[in-house]
Amino acid sequence: AAEPTRLVELREHADARGGLAVVETGTDVPFPIERVYYLYGIPQGAERGGHGHRELRQLMIAVHGRLRVTVDDGYRQASYELDRPGLGLYIGPMIWRRLTHFSPGAVAVVLASAHYDENDYFREYTEFARAVRERPS
């Protein structure tokens, strides 16, 4: 079975000057961070994601605003609300994910274990579901 998706409480340092949250390889994410990208300017009602990965591991953070992440391991779904900069969502390989309900102005940062590789994607749910059932668990 796929590695469980999980929320990660990041270490935060807040003082009179504001907040600071930290993500370190090995401590907060179980992979070396090879890529960072972010989603912003998402129109109301838009959906992002809608794919799975063969190998990629990611940590998603709503650094501003909030969004909903719905994950599916081919057998069951779960939803997570990312609503603060100190909260991450770890998503391992072989998880279908959809990102919805972005609040206006929300910015989501994604830390990833590898460079962009279109060959790592499942873009069709049926292909993803077939691969889940073909893999030894």
Binds ligand TYD (CB under 6 A): choice among 28, 49, 72, 88:
49
Asked whether 91 and 47 are in contact (CB, 8 A), the reply is no
The reply on whether position 38 binds ligand TYD by CB under 6 A is no
To ligand TYD, the closest distance from the beta carbon of 102 in angstroms equals 11
Q: What's the alpha-carbon Rg for the chain, to the nearest Å?
A: 15
**3-class secondary-structure state, position 133:** helix
Q: What share of the chain is helix, strand, coil (3-state, %, to 5)?
A: 10, 45, 45
Whether residue 48 contacts residue 76, with contact meaning beta carbons closer than 8 Å, is answered with no
64 is catalytic: no
Size of the site for ligand TYD (CB under 6 A): 6
CB distance 66 to 135 below 8 Å: no
Among 3, 5, 23, 48, binds ligand TYD (CB under 6 A): 48
Measured in residues, the chain has a length of 137
Query: CA 121, CA 131: separation in Å to the nearest integer?
Result: 12
For ligand TYD, give the closer residue by CB, 27 or 77. Answer: 77
Q: What is the residue whose two structure tokens read 């279109």?
A: 118
Binding mask 55-94 for ligand TYD (x = CB under 6 A): ----------------------------------------
What binding mask, one character per residue, do residues 7-36 give for ligand TYD by CB under 6 A, x or -? ----------------------------x-
Q: Which residues are catalytic?
A: 51
Binding site for ligand TYD (CB under 6 A): 35, 37, 39, 48-49, 116
